[in-house]
Amino acid sequence: MNIEEYRTFCLSLQEAEEGMPFDEKTLVFTIKGKMFSLTNSIDTFELINVKCEPEEAIILRERFNAVIPGYYMNKKHWNSIKIDGTIPDKQIKDWIKNSYCLVVSTLPKKIQKELTDKK
């Protein structure tokens, strides 16, 4: 996966938006202002962060060498995935989608309903 494939996939998720709120190198993807994925640097694109259920986060870290505790994130809820070719793109996309869904599930019920109604 390269940065354009990552960006295209993230923006394909319903009402996902991109921005650079921290600096000019950290690309952040949000849904209704809440982060669901971000890069370490658009220049190197070495890793991405995704939200994860705490129990699953531990399992994934044990199973995959390229999955580590979230870099600069709450390590209980976020994993960093090294973009080194050892994890198939489909698996990474599944984790991004899961992160998106976790964030959507924390939004107010009214907003969740609006997103469901637009499908």
DSSP designation for 25: S
The stretches in the chain having pLDDT less than 70 are 119
Is the backbone of residue 42 left (phi > 0), alpha (psi -120 to 50) or beta? alpha
Contact 6, 99 (CB under 8 A): no
Cβ atoms of residues 31 and 16 within 8 Å: yes
Its pTM surpasses 0.85: yes
pLDDT value at position 119?
65
**pLDDT value at position 37?**
98
Sign, CA dihedral 19-113-5-92, equals positive
The ranges assigned to domains in the chain are 3-118
Measured in degrees and rounded to the nearest 5, phi and psi for residue 110 equal -60, -45
**Does domain 3-118 fall into CATH 3.90.1150.30?**
yes
Q: Which residues contact 60 (CB under 8 A, 6 or more apart)?
A: 52, 67, 79, 95
pLDDT score of 28: 97
